A and B are shown apart, each in its own frame.
Chain A
Amino acid sequence: MIQVNNLTFAYLEGVEVLRDVSFSVKKGESCAIIGPSGCGKTTLLYLIAGLLPIQSGEIRVNGTATTRGNIPMILQDYGLFPWKTVWENVAIGLTLKHTPQREIRKKVVPILEELGLSPFTSFYPSQLSGGQCQRVAIARVLAMNPSLILMDEPFSSLDAMTREHLQTLLSRIWEAHRITFIIVTHSIEEATFLGKRVIVLSERPAKIRAVVENPNAGDPVFRSSRTFFEISTKLRKILFSTNPEAQA
């Protein structure tokens, strides 16, 4: 589905943010990317989404090079448009494709229903809680019926309870729609719960420190299982090790 090969990127000449990053994600799989703050996670997603030009290496989605505007992304901040209502925010991807109103309604109504947003269609983002906002952001990308979604720390500003709630919701959606997704997070537990494959990045310039296979991810009961703690502990060790080579 998605193949990243030898990706290297620098915003300024000589100051590398990513160095020789390669990984792949299979169709319908979830992939979590975790790494220290400022290491280049957002940059990596921007490159996959085609928002930044590729300097060296390649990114292939379904065998072809990435192009901007084809992969919906949930951004770290400023996700929703404050001047659009919940309905308009969720419909925007379809509106941009000049979808007829009737079609839009047919697609948006069930998604709002699924995410428990039906009572809020005419609300503006400033009238919603943080958790509701993130649900709208998820609804907005789902409305486009994508096969791949990128998410940049979607739940980082939420309280622990709402966060767990939305993680479960996300895993359910992933299960139901079989969407491939890549989620960037700085929470070890979130990565463990959501990523069938967890990629650990090093300090800037980001290199791949380890790829941890995590086949039970997404299962609601996984969170309280023994393996969950084992994987989390393993990730923690890799993240905080001073000698990455020994771990990888």
Chain B
Amino acid sequence: MKRHRYLIGILSAIILFFVWVVMSLTISGGIIPTPLSVVRAFSLSTFAPNFLVSMARVVVSLGIAIITAVPLGLFLGQNPQWDKWIAPMIFLTYPIPKIVFLPIFFILLGIGNISKVALIALVVFYQILVTTRDGARSVKKPFMDALVTLGGNTRDVYRHVVIPACLPAILTSLRISIGTSVAILFFVESFATRNGLGNMILDAWGMADYPMMFVGVIGMSVLGIMLYEIVEILERKLCKWAQL
């Protein structure tokens, strides 16, 4: 089963590589550089710092979003009397594209890392909050009753019933959030910064240095895949029961 998964992974990578090679050879103007020219353009001393800065921004943002949205979502899902007041606010603000607040964040929080991290965290916060709350809402009452008859208190109910029951939903929302956060990362790194993969891509673009631009693009992809894989591992470790 596991071997199977890896084989398919490797096969997909080979196919994608082929598509890339074919496109680089057929699309004229060097807009799609060949793999070889990208390897030549790669230099660890410029790539590594940019990659690490971007990774730090995303990881910190995701961390902040998780530690705020998960507890709040669990609480609201379990306490309809509070959710009644909060739900309309979420409903009204959820569809607003949060990236339009970047200028305001720049003014309020400065143009440094804080406003960048805050914007990514805000977007992801909503995704995790809504999924977690809906998950916590749908935990079956008899599970909680069973725990209470076995001597559990409210804290035990969260620990042994609500959290484990919601964990698959939380991890799913986290997986979606990774894609979102990398996209927002590119956006926030295109303003007022001299580092990060987004900046690297835009710089190279400005100079029509397409191989360099691709180094950045691949860097962003690697960042996303890495984080995604971490969530996969967590899911396999923590939610074995849901995958049977």
- Which A residues fall within an 8 A CB radius of B? 46, 49, 51, 68-73, 75-79, 81-84, 92-93, 96-97, 124, 126-127, 140-141, 144, 150
The answer, among B146, B241, B242, for a CB contact under 8 Å with A79, is B146
How far, in Å, is A45 (CB) from chain B's closest CB?
A: 10
Closest to A95 in B: B160
The answer, among A77, A83, A144, for a CB contact under 8 Å with B142, is A77
In the complex, A81 Cα to B144 Cα: how many Å? 10
Question: Are A96 and B242 closer than 8 Å at their CB atoms?
Answer: no
**Count of chain B residues with a beta carbon within 8 Å of a chain A beta carbon:** 23
Given contacts A83-B165, A124-B241, A126-B241, contact A96 B151 (CB under 8 A): yes
**Is B161 an interface residue, CB under 8 A from the partner?**
yes
Question: Are A68 and B148 closer than 8 Å at their CB atoms?
Answer: yes
User: Within 8 Å CB of A144, what residues of B?
Assistant: 150-151
User: Within 8 Å CB of A69, what residues of B?
Assistant: 148-153
Given contacts A51-B148, A75-B142, A96-B151, contact A81 B164 (CB under 8 A): yes
User: Within 8 Å CB of A141, what residues of B?
Assistant: 150
Question: Are A93 and B143 closer than 8 Å at their CB atoms?
Answer: no
How far, in Å, is B201 (CB) from chain A's closest CB?
A: 42
User: Within 8 Å CB of B143, what residues of A?
Assistant: 78, 81
User: Within 8 Å CB of A71, what residues of B?
Assistant: 149
- Which B residues fall within an 8 A CB radius of A? 140, 142-143, 145-153, 156, 160-161, 164-165, 167, 239-242, 244
A-B pair number, CB within 8 angstroms = 72
User: Within 8 Å CB of A46, what residues of B?
Assistant: 145
User: Within 8 Å CB of B156, what residues of A?
Assistant: 96
How far, in Å, is B13 (CB) from chain A's closest CB?
A: 33
User: Within 8 Å CB of B142, what residues of A?
Assistant: 75-79
Closest to A70 in B: B151
Pull 24 A–B residue pairs with CB atoms less than 8 Å apart, ordered by A.
A51-B145, A69-B152, A69-B153, A71-B149, A72-B150, A73-B145, A75-B142, A75-B149, A78-B143, A78-B146, A81-B160, A81-B161, A83-B164, A84-B164, A93-B151, A96-B150, A96-B151, A96-B152, A124-B240, A124-B241, A124-B244, A126-B244, A141-B150, A144-B150
Question: Are B164 and A97 closer than 8 Å at their CB atoms?
Answer: no
How far, in Å, is B200 (CB) from chain A's closest CB?
A: 43
Question: Are A73 and B164 closer than 8 Å at their CB atoms?
Answer: no
How far, in Å, is B124 (CB) from chain A's closest CB?
A: 25
How far, in Å, is A221 (CB) from chain B's closest CB?
A: 33
Q: Name 7 extra pairs, CB < 8 A, besides A73-B145, A96-B151.
A: A69-B149, A75-B142, A75-B146, A76-B142, A78-B142, A81-B160, A83-B165
Report, nearest first, the 4 A-B pairs whose CB atoms are least far apart: A78-B142, A83-B164, A73-B149, A93-B150
Closest to A83 in B: B164
The answer, among B149, B152, B242, B244, for a CB contact under 8 Å with A127, is B244
